[in-house]
């Protein structure tokens, strides 16, 4: 359900910026969303469509670029991909935050982003 909260914040932020710029229409919103946000992108698109109805964003094109996750190991210097464990208890694949080379705990350095990259408005 965090897709609704995420998408609601995006729509509110875009509408606030459009109001500041006295935009008559929002044509496109381009997002970068990290895979480690675990957002369902189909749910984000659906929620976006629902939340923008009746606003200057209605009918705008939503582009979502998915950002791969990258981890870094402070022990051996490894930087790159990581393993996913598919535990049915969680209903989603969960990342294993262990280094693929040495087994040490790794730090996520990319993949948790939620960024509005650009917005096309008509003023």
Model confidence at 81, in pLDDT bands (50, 70, 90)?
confident
Give the per-residue pLDDT at 61.
98
Per-residue model confidence as pLDDT tens digits over 29-76: 999 999 888 889 999 999 999 999 999 999 999 999 999 989 999 999
Give the per-residue pLDDT at 90.
58
Q: What is the DSSP string of 79-94?
A: EE---EE--TTTSS-E
Q: What is the DSSP string of 48-61?
A: HHHHHTTSTTTTPE
- Fold assignment, 2-68+110-122: hypothetical protein PF0899 fold (3.30.2320)
Question: For residue 15, with 0-12 CB atoms within 10 Å meaning exposed, 13-18 middle and 19 or more buried, which class applies?
Answer: middle
Share of the chain above pLDDT 70, in %: 89
Give the per-residue pLDDT at 83.
73
Per-domain residue ranges of the chain: 2-68+110-122
């Amino acid at each position: 359900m965090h897709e609704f909260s995420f998408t609601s914040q995006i729509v509110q932020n875009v509408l606030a910026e459009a109001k500041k710029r006295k935009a008559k229409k929002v044509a496109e919103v381009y997002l970068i969303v990290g895979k480690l946000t675990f957002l369902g992108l189909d749910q984000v698109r659906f929620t976006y469509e629902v939340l923008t109805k009746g606003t200057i964003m209605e009918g705008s094109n939503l582009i979502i670029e998915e950002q791969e996750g990258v981890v870094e190991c402070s022990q051996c210097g490894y930087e790159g991909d990581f393993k996913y464990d598919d535990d049915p208890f969680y209903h989603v694949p969960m990342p294993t935050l262990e280094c693929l080379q040495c087994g040490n705990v790794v730090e996520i350095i990319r993949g948790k982003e939620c960024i509005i990259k650009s917005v096309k408005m008509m003023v």
